[in-house]
């Protein structure tokens, strides 16, 4: 047991302190911005001081919490390795950007910013928890404000979308809970523990019987699959994201979806590896649904937020494929792609909100020619689209290439070919969106026209109605920050890969 306080507590303390200050009437947006800015700088420092070459857990803290009758002790066990540290950084940078793009004036602003901070706090806690109890509870802390943000501050159909998201994600959480409880109870009584490290060590040395693994693994897979939007459990996500406030969509699609993928890497496959191999053919068929079905559905969308929502579902197939390889190259690529996808998804949802708010429209046939009115927004959206398409030089490309080669190494060649075809589908709908929104025929309400106003003493002047650009530094900065992070990882992927690979190589049964 390590009772030394961990610096990881700082990542939890900052949003928690900000929430308390906001409750006591501190300026909500400024306080939330300071807390998330601190976490961004601190997460970079934690990565810089992490001994990447040796891999494994660092910044560890293990404190007794409580003991419930009939259950193993619950411990407040924190730690981070080369797999979780990049996700902590992703949480910090997307949280900062989500706060920065949120409006300065919004109804019930204190509640709004507290809910965003709770989402960030829950994600941070889930990625650093090494106890199954807190791993699960922190994620639930993040889900509850997601429902509230959609239901209170969402756009059209927000009540239905919030209700649907609540039902799906609560069902996924309950199924996952049943699987985790079954996993713990499958271990002999003297070895039962919620501690992820100890449980993994015991099961690696004393594997559960194939029958037990084949019973538990599909439960865990369905639970994680619903939470991440694995086909066919994906239908909650696109309407939910389309109705959510942009900041909430950025946090959920960019960060919280990675919880399920992280859980597959950390818990499901290492501890139930025989079950994973048994159900691998089914898993690979399901991820084909993400590539092909969700991909073609995305092409058919006529509204920007829904298109981006289906696009996010489609790209979960790449991440599951990398994990399904279960070799160092594929899983490392999946972790890199988690970061890349988180950055690009946050960018796209944030910019979609800007377009909708500034133009009053989100339908492709009602948008057009906006590059003339908002050239900076056009440039930012093009960068975000290129990242989503996996253009070389951006973070998604590095992760996707590793996943493709990892798939070939694991003889999942058919699925690698489908993934490559998926990049073509992505290029189709992203380029179509750019053309329709920014370079299509300009709608009449955006065209310059002559008007006479009292201020001009009866003289005619040119008026430029409608769309405005993201003109100020405060408006540009959060998007530029996400783009710069994607460019750094894209041009120098070794910065992330050398952190990720040693820890991935330590996972049980890794090839």
Q: What HEC string does 394-452 produce?
A: CHHHHHHHHHHHHHHHCCCHHHHHHHHHHHHHHHHHHHHHHHHHHHCCCCHHHCCEEEE
Name the phi and psi angles at 327, rounded to 5.
Answer: -130, 165
Domain boundaries, the chain: 9-505
DSSP calls for 89-133: HHHHHHHHHHHHHS-SS-TTHHHHHHHHHHHHHHHHHHHHB-BHH
Helix axes 132-153, 158-185, angle to 10 degrees: 170
d(CA 322, CA 329): 8
pLDDT of residue 156: 73
- Left, alpha or beta for 108 (phi > 0: left; psi -120 to 50: alpha)? left
- Rounded Cα gap, residues 129 and 127, in angstroms: 6
Q: Is 188 exposed, middle or buried (0-12, 13-18, 19+ CB in 10 A)?
A: exposed
CA–CA separation, 198 vs 93, rounded Å? 31
pLDDT of residue 449: 45
Rounded Cα distance between 242 and 236, Å, is: 11
Which two three-digit tokens encode residue 109? Answer: 């602003």
Q: What residues form DSSP beta bridges with 450?
A: 462
Task: Kindly tell me the sign of the dihedral angle through the C-alpha atoms of 426, 429, 435, 438.
Answer: negative
> What are the residues whose beta carbons fall under 8 Å from the beta carbon of 300, sequence distance 6 or more?
none
Q: Which residue has the tokens 């049980």?
A: 508
Structure tokens at 462: 């040119």
Q: Is the pTM of this model over 0.85?
A: yes
Rounded distance, CA 179 to CA 351, Å? Answer: 38
CA distance 149 to 226: 20
Distances (CA, A) of 25 to 12, 18, 36, 37, 148: 21, 11, 18, 20, 21
Ordered per-residue pLDDT tens for the chain, 511 residues: 566 888 999 999 999 999 999 999 899 999 999 999 999 999 999 999 999 888 899 999 988 887 777 778 888 999 999 999 999 999 999 999 999 999 888 888 899 999 999 999 999 999 999 999 999 999 998 988 988 888 888 887 777 778 888 888 899 999 999 999 999 999 988 888 999 999 999 999 999 999 999 999 999 999 999 998 888 888 888 888 888 899 999 998 899 889 999 999 999 999 999 999 999 999 999 988 888 888 888 888 888 888 998 888 888 889 999 999 999 999 999 999 999 999 999 999 999 988 888 887 888 887 877 888 888 888 999 999 999 988 999 999 999 999 999 988 877 888 888 888 888 888 888 999 898 888 877 654 555 544 444 444 444 444 445 567 777 788 889 999 999 999 999 999 999 999 999 999 999 988 8
CB 407 within 8 Å of CB 321: yes
How far is it, in rounded angstroms, from Cα 46 to Cα 202? 29
**Is there a contact between 495 and 488 (Cβ–Cβ < 8 Å)?**
yes
- Lookup: tokens for 151: 């239901």
Q: DSSP labels for 462-491?
A: EE--S-----SHHHHHHHHHHHHHHHHHHH
């Amino acid at each position: 047991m390590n009772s030394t306080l961990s610096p990881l507590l700082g990542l939890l303390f900052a949003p928690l302190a900000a929430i308390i200050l906001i409750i006591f009437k501190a300026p909500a947006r400024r306080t939330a911005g300071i807390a998330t800015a601190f976490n961004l700088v601190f997460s970079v420092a934690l990565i810089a001081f992490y001994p990447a070459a040796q891999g494994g857990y660092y910044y560890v803290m293990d404190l007794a919490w409580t003991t419930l009758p009939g259950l193993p002790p619950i411990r407040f066990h924190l730690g981070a390795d080369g797999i979780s540290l990049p996700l902590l950084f992703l949480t910090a940078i997307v949280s900062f950007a989500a706060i920065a793009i949120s409006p300065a004036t919004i109804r019930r602003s204190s509640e709004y910013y507290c809910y965003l901070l709770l989402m960030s706090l829950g994600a941070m806690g889930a990625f650093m928890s090494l106890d199954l109890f807190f791993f699960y509870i922190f994620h639930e802390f993040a889900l509850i404000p997601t429902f509230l943000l959609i239901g209170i501050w969402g756009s059209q159909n927000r009540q239905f979308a919030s209700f649907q998201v609540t039902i799906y994600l609560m069902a996924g959480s309950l199924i996952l809970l049943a699987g985790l409880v079954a996993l713990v109870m499958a271990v002999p009584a003297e070895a039962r523990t919620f501690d992820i490290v100890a449980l993994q060590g015991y099961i690696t040395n004393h594997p559960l019987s194939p029958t037990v693994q084949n019973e538990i693994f599909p439960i865990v897979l369905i639970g994680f699959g619903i939470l991440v939007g694995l086909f066919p459990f994906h239908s909650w996500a696109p309407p939910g994201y389309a109705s959510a406030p942009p900041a909430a969509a950025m946090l959920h699609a960019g960060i919280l979806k990675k919880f399920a993928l992280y859980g597959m890497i950390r818990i499901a496959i290492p501890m139930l590896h025989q079950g994973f191999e048994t159900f691998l053919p089914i898993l690979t068929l399901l991820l084909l649904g993400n590539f092909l079905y969700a991909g073609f559905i995305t092409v058919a969308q006529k509204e920007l937020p829904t298109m981006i929502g289906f696009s996010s579902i489609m790209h979960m197939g790449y991440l599951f494929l990398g994990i399904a390889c279960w070799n160092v190259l594929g899983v490392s690529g999946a972790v890199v792609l988690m970061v890349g996808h988180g950055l690009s998804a946050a960018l796209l949802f944030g910019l979609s909100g800007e377009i909708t708010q500034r133009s009053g429209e989100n339908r492709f046939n009602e948008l057009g020619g906006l590059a003339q009115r908002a050239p900076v927004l056009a440039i930012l959206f093009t960068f975000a689209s290129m990242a989503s398409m996996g253009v070389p030089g951006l973070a998604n490309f590095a992760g996707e290439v590793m996943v493709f080669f990892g798939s070939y190494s694991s003889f999942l060649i058919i699925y690698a070919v489908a993934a490559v075809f998926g990049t073509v589908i992505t290029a189709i709908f992203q380029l179509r969106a750019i053309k329709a929104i920014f370079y299509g025929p300009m709608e009449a309400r955006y065209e310059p026209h002559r008007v006479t106003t009292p201020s001009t003493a009866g003289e005619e002047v040119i008026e430029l109605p409608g769309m405005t650009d993201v003109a100020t530094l405060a408006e540009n900065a959060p998007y530029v920050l996400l783009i710069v992070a994607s460019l750094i990882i894209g041009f120098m992927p070794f910065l992330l890969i050398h952190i990720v690979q040693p820890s991935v190589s330590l996972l049980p049964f890794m090839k």
